[in-house]
Amino acid sequence: MFAHEKTSRPFANLTTLEVLDLSYNNFDTMTSLPFENLTNLTSLYLSFNRISTIPDSLFKCIPNLRKLRLNSNRKLGKLPEKGLGFLRNLERLNLEDNPLQCTCEEEWFYDWVVSNQTKTLFYNLSNYGCVAPERLVHKTILDFDAEAQGCHDKTGIHLAISAALLLVIFLVGVLVGYRYRWYIKYGCFVIKARFHGYQALRDENLQKKFDAFVSYNHNDRAWVMNELVPHIEEEGDAFRLCLDYRDFVPGAPITDNIVNSIYDSRKTICLVTEEFLKSEWCEMEVQMATYRLFDEQVDVLILVFLEDIPDRALHRYQRMRRLMCKRTYLEWPKDPQEKALFWERLKDALKTGDRPPIENII
């Protein structure tokens, strides 16, 4: 009747009905529709049918139910967890001779049976047979053991937590590695160099290949070629500059070229512009020079500002900002009459010794 007549309400007018026996009717499915308005129903018998599933909504319609028989349905392996929660007044339940699924998914049913034994009489509980899992075939719901079946196995949870921790450690490592990437590169260079016999050259009288390595943005190459090189290398007291386009070793990694050029030069001249501060390679060159100052206590850095730089552009260069507070830096003059003094001051900076005062070490 209920399998094919989904809209049927045969008991719609029986609002005072208390006992309903639908046993031996060969039902294979149940819906809540026939039980609407049966709020006074206290006993429901559905034995000896072929019911396989029961919707949660069915029990919601009959909250005052005290007796429920579902025995011998042959296909009923599971009960609705949420639906049984509506039957707060249930006193007697018969589920014997049903193919119950005694799996971890149905652990709640075992817990529900155990917790309700004091107020609900379960007919022939020893006949609540299990058909799954295999270890409980021919046994009953009372033989269910969550621990033995591994229902509370936390291996998966532990693996998930471990994976999450490894992911967090990896992400932190990536962030720290990025934040201190130049420290790491510098440290690797020092280890590599000392492995090959390098020792920090702290004696300012030792001969260097270049007087100064020039760190600049490629947009300023014309200024380097037309202004810096002629005045520093060709006029008056000449100095030998290390320039990327001229002195880098062809085919060598750019990081090796930069580091070797810095350490082959007495000084490092940084031509600071906003574009310079945005360049990763320029950042590396500044950091390497300041690390050399820290590691060897060698005053190597000469800052030359080719344009006005807003404070926001310097937020990544904390060491440079501290340097600017502690020592004089040069600014490319806008007035052509001041350029001669600029070149004289730059050459004076190149002539100075490499040892800074102790209080000026970063």
Contact (Cβ atoms closer than 8 angstroms) between residue 181 and residue 283:
no
Read off φ and ψ for residue 91, nearest 5 degrees.
Answer: -115, -30
Rounded-to-integer distance, Cα 66 and Cα 93, Å: 8
Domain extent listing, the chain: 19-143, 155-193, 201-360
- Give the pLDDT score at 239: 94
- Quickly state the pLDDT bin for 4 (edges 50, 70, 90): very low
Find the mean pLDDT for residues 148-162.
78
Q: What is the pLDDT of residues 244-254, one digit of tens each?
A: 999 999 998 88
Q: Which of 3-12, 227-236, 254-263, 339-348 has the lowest mean pLDDT?
A: 3-12
Is the model's pLDDT at 311 over the cut of 70? yes
Rounded-to-integer distance, Cα 251 and Cα 345, Å: 36
Contact (Cβ atoms closer than 8 angstroms) between residue 89 and residue 62:
no
* Residues with Cβ within 8 Å of residue 174, at least 6 apart in sequence: none
Residue 361 identity (one-letter amino acid) = I
Is the model's pLDDT at 198 over the cut of 50? no
Q: What is the pLDDT of residues 97-124, one digit of tens each?
A: 899 989 988 888 888 888 887 777 788 8
Q: What is the pLDDT of residues 25-63, one digit of tens each?
A: 999 888 888 888 899 999 999 999 999 988 888 898 899
Q: Which of 8-12, 127-131, 195-199, 313-317 has the lowest mean pLDDT?
A: 195-199
pTM: 0.47
CATH code linked to domain 19-143: 3.80.10.10
Is the model's pLDDT at 236 over the cut of 90? no
Q: Which residue from 287, 73, 104 is spatially nearest to 189, judged by alpha carbons?
A: 287
pLDDT, greater one: 250 or 9: 250
| Mean pLDDT estimate for the chain | 82
Is the model's pLDDT at 360 over the cut of 50? no
* Residue carrying the six token digits 């290949």: 209
Give the CATH number of domain 201-360; options: 3.40.1080.10, 3.40.50.10140, 3.40.50.980, 3.90.550.10: 3.40.50.10140
